[in-house]
Amino acid sequence: HKNVILVVMESMSFSFMEKGGEANHLTPVLDSLAKQGLLFSNTYATGTRTVRGLEAVTLSIPPGPGSSIVKRPKNENLFSLGFLFQERGYDTRFIYGGYGYFDNMNYFFAHNGFKTVDRANFSLEEKTFANAWGLCDEDLFHKVIQEANQSYAAHHPFFHVVMTTSNHRPYTFPEGRINAPHTGGHRIPAVQYADFAIGELIKNAQKEHWFNNTVFVFVADHTASSAGKWAVTPEKHRIPFIIYSPGFIKP
């Protein structure tokens, strides 16, 4: 039973990647993982909100009319990835750098097979940078590795659903990570930082004993700037979807 870390990337359009037509190398880490792993280049988001991406990933359903199932009443005990992995002996966690009461995420995940870990579960030492949406992606990924280490020490396989926040307004992030200002207000530097943080996740995970027995999945919740009052084309919903597991998943 291989471990699985499924990273849902905030607002990460496929068009930011080299394969998506971007010539300015905004996402060198994702571009590299796409070449080392398995890239699905015709993947489309089910909507324009994070909860739509989360319901699609965890429940394998298309979007219904009205509110997302994540936000609806009576959304407990559904046929979810959480329960499927739990039945196979996995520790299952939803890990989020913000406060999971937003959009009812903690309630939904806690009642569909996951232990929830959000900003309230981080110690002061674990919080190095935050904005209104949550802790920076580096802090989040450090927590992911800590949680994985706990399961490994207990001899349990683990399945994590991880929700990032840094590629979201106000687009602020720690200084000195990329060659761009961190002051916020601009999407592109946030995309670059989000990509950098994924690289740090992989680099730090490679130091752990469980790395070679782990499958990493990277997919976006929705694209950037996809919302609007006019009809949108499918191309505006195209998102990255990469499965990366060296020695197990062939490029």
Q: What percent of the chain has pLDDT over 70?
A: 98
Higher pLDDT, 71 or 232: 71
Average pLDDT of the chain to the nearest whole number: 95
Higher pLDDT, 164 or 179: 164
Instruction: Return the closest-CA partner of residue 161 out of 72, 88, 55.
Output: 55
pLDDT tens for residues 159-175? Answer: 999 999 999 999 999 99
pLDDT tens for residues 83-129? Answer: 999 999 999 999 999 999 999 999 999 999 999 999 999 999 999 99
pLDDT at site 183:
64
> Is residue 181's pLDDT more than 70?
no
* Burial class of residue 118 in the structure, from the number of CB atoms within 10 Å of its CB (0-12 exposed, 13-18 middle, 19+ buried): buried
β pairing state of 91-96 and 158-163: parallel
pTM score? 0.97
pLDDT at site 182:
63
Which stretch of DSSP H or E encloses residue 159?
strand 158-163
**Half-sphere exposure (Cβ direction) of 184: Cα atoms closer than 13 Å:** 13
